[in-house]
Chain A
Amino acid sequence: MTTGLLIVQLLNGLQLGILLFLVAAGLTLVFGVMDFINLAHGVQYMLGAYLAVTFVSLTGSFVLGLVLALAAALVIGLALEFLVFRHLYERNHLDQVLATFGLILLLNQGVKIVWGAAPLSVPVPEFLAGNVALLDGILYPTYRFALIGSGLAVGALLWFIVEKTRTGMLLRAGASNAPMVSALGVDINKLFMIVFAFGTMLAAFAGAMAAPILSVEPGMGDNILILAFVVIVVGGIGSIRGAFVGALIVGLVDTLGRSFMNDLLRLFMSAPSARAAGAALSSMLIYLVMAIVLYVRPEGLLPAKGRA
C-alpha cells in the first residue's frame, strides 16, 4: 500500500463518516429528545436521494434541485409525523419499531413503483466536476471534497444551533428531561416537530449529497440506517458529539478495513485464503468495534449528559 492510496482511502472513510454523521445526528436527536426510535429515518435518506434525482433533472441545476428536494423531503417528513409518528411518541419501543418498520416496507416498495427498481444517478454538478491533485500526482474528485466540506459545515451549523441558540438550549433540555421542559411551559409538541423537521432535513441532505456518487436504489436507506445505529451505539445515545466521533470511527474503520484487510492478512496467510478471510472479516469489522466499545463502555464513548 502506498501513501497515496492511504490518503485516498482516508478521504473516502472521512466522506462515509460525514454521511453517517448527518444521518445519525438526526436519529440520535429524535431519540434523545422524543424517546422515539424511528427505523424509517433511513427511508428519509433514500427519499432525499430520489427527490434529488427528480428535481435536478427537472431544473437542470444541482443547487436548485437540492433545495427543492430538501423542501419536498421536509413536506413528506412532516406529513408522516402528522399521520403516524405523532401517535407513537407515547407508545413503547416495540410499537415504535413495528410501525416504522411497516412504513419502511411501504416506502421502499413505493419508491420502486414511482422510480422503478433500477439504480438511478444524479450527474455531478459541472462547477464541482474534475479532480484535485494531491501529492505525487494522485487525483481526488472535487465533488467528494465538496461533500466532506458541506457535511462539516452542516455539522458546525448544527453544533452552533444546539449549543448557542435558544432552540438548541430547549433541545438539550428536552434530551435530558422532556417532561420537565414541558412543565416549565414550553410547547413540547412544537419542539418535537422542530426536532423532527431537523432530523428529516439532515437525512434528506445526506441522501441528496450522496446521490451523485452512490447509486440511488430502493433499500439504500436500510444499509445506512443500520450503520447509523452502530454509530449511535458507539458514540452514546442522544449525543450529537458522540454521533460525530462515532461516525468518523465507523466510516474510517469500515473503509480502511475493506481496502487494507487483504494486504494485512497476506502477511500471515496465502493469497486466496487472505482474500476469503479478508472479505468476511472486513464486513464484520465495525460490528466488532461496536462490541468492544460496548464491552468497555456500555453507555457509549460520549453519552449525552443527564441521561439516566
Chain B
Amino acid sequence: MSSADAAAAIPAPTRRRPVIAIILFALLALLPVAVSLGLPPHWLTLLTRAMIFAIAALSLDLILGVGGLVSFGHAAFVGIGAYATGIMITEGQTETLLILPVVVLLCALFGAVTGAVSLRTRGVTFIMITLAFGQMVYFLAQALSAYGGDDGLTLYERSTLLGFEPFKNRTGFYYVVLGVLIACYGLISVIVASRFGRALRAARENATRVAVTGFRVKGIQLLAYVISGMIAGLSGFLLANHTDFVSPAFMSWPRSGELIFMVVLGGVGSLHGAIIGAIAFLLTEDVLSGLTEHWKVIFGPMIVLFVLFTHGGLVGLLRKLGLGRHD
C-alpha cells in the first residue's frame, strides 16, 4: 500500500551533480563578508540557525527522501542531542570531545530501540508510531524537573574544544556550523551513492524485490534510521550552543512537522533540497513573525497551498527554470 504510494511522489534518483550544493555552500561562505560590508549582523545569527536546522533536515532526508520512511518524530533526536549537551554543560562538562560521543551514542541507542519497534510496521502506522515516540521524549524532558522541566534549561557556558572556544565568536560559530553542514552533506551523499544507499533506495521502490535479491531490508532501514538520528543529534548539540538554552519545545511534535516541511519544501530526496528548504523555511518564518505575532495564520495556509499546488518542491521549481540537471 503505502511504500508504493510514498515513492510515487519522489523523483527517481539520478546521478547527482552537486553543482547546486557547491554554489549554495559558496554563497553561505561569503555571507560573513557581506555582513562585514554592511549587511545587518542579524543575518549571521539567522543563517547559523538555518544551517543547524538544515543539518537536521538533511538527516531526515536520508530516511524520508532516500528511504521513503515518513518519520514524524525526528525532532526527538535533535532534542536528545540538545538535552545531552545542556545537561553535560550544566554539570560542568564543556569539552566537545566528551559531549559529542555521548550525544551520538544516546541518539544511536534511541534510534535503534524505537526504530526496531517502528520498522515492524509500514506506511501510516509508521508515521503514527514515530510521532508517538517523539512525544514520549517530549514528555520525558518535561518530567526532568532537575533540569528545568517544562521551563527548559538556560546554559551559562558554551562547549569548548581542547581549551579553545569555537562557539564563542559569532563568525567563528557560523563557519563551524557551515563546516559541519558540508561534512554532513558529503557523508550522506557518500552513503546514498554506496551499495548500502542503493539498497535503501531500492527498498523504497519495492522492498520485496530487494529482500529477494538477498538484502536484509529491515536491517538496512534500521541502520539508515540510526545514522539519520545520530546526525540529527549533532544538530541538537549545535542548537543548544547556539541558543544557550534547551527546552522540551525543541522536540514538540510541530518541530518534527516543520522538519518534514523543510525537506518537502526543498524537494524530497535530493539532499541539497533539504538545505534550501531549511533556509527558505527559516527566512519565511523570520519575515512573517516580523509582520505579526499570528504569523502561523499565514504560514499554515502557505503549507496547505504548497502541498496542493506544487510537486517536487523548490528544487523542482529550479529545474523548471532551467537551473540544475533535468532528470
Contact = CB atoms under 8 A, between A and B. Distances in A.
Contacts of B129: 229, 233, 290, 294
Interface in A76-91: 84, 87-88, 91
Nearest to B299: A105
B101 interface: no
B299 A233 contact: no
Given A98-B260, A101-B261, A226-B253, 20 more contacts: A37-B124, A91-B9, A93-B6, A93-B70, A94-B6, A94-B268, A97-B257, A98-B257, A98-B307, A101-B254, A109-B296, A110-B297, A222-B253, A222-B254, A233-B128, A237-B125, A276-B143, A284-B140, A298-B121, A298-B125
A92 B304 contact: no
B120 A101 contact: no
B5 A106 contact: no
A290 B123 CA distance: 17
A135 interface: no
Given A97-B70, A113-B294, A106 B300 contact: yes
Contacts, number: 140
B127 A276 contact: no
Contacts of B299: 102, 105
B22 interface: no
B127 A298 contact: no
B304 A102 contact: yes
A51 interface: no
Contacts of B264: 94, 98
Contact of A230 (B8, B124, B132): B132
A102 B303 contact: yes
B308 A93 contact: no
Contact of B145 (A101, A104, A110, A279): A279
B308 A84 contact: yes
User: Chain B contact residues: over half helix, strand or loop, or mixed?
Assistant: helix
A97 B72 contact: yes
Interface of A: 31, 35, 37, 84, 87-88, 91-95, 97-99, 101-110, 112-113, 222, 226, 229-230, 232-233, 237, 276, 279-280, 283-284, 287, 290-291, 294-295, 298, 308
Contacts of B114: 291
Given A84-B308, A92-B2, A102 B124 contact: no
B70 A284 contact: no
A145 B31 CA distance: 63
Contact of B131 (A91, A92, A95, A226): A226
Contacts of B127: 37, 93, 97
B135 interface: yes
Contact of B144 (A37, A113, A280, A290): A280
B8 A92 contact: yes
Contact of B296 (A97, A98, A106): A106
5 contacts: A93-B124, A97-B70, A101-B257, A101-B303, A226-B132
B117 A294 contact: yes
Q: Please name the 4 residue pairs, one residue from A and one from B, whose CB atoms are nearest each other, closest first.
A: A102-B303, A106-B300, A105-B300, A283-B139
Contact of A84 (B143, B268, B304): B304
Contacts of A99: 303-304, 307-308
B92 to A, nearest CB: 21
Given A237-B125, A295-B117, A287 B136 contact: yes
Nearest to B149: A279
A31 B124 contact: yes
Contacts of A112: 294
A273 to B, nearest CB: 11
Nearest to B301: A106
Given A105-B296, A233-B128, A94 B70 contact: yes
B1 interface: yes
B146 interface: yes
A308 B136 CA distance: 29
B83 interface: no
Contacts of B167: none
B254 A105 contact: yes
B72 to A, nearest CB: 7
B281 interface: no
A92 B123 CA distance: 10
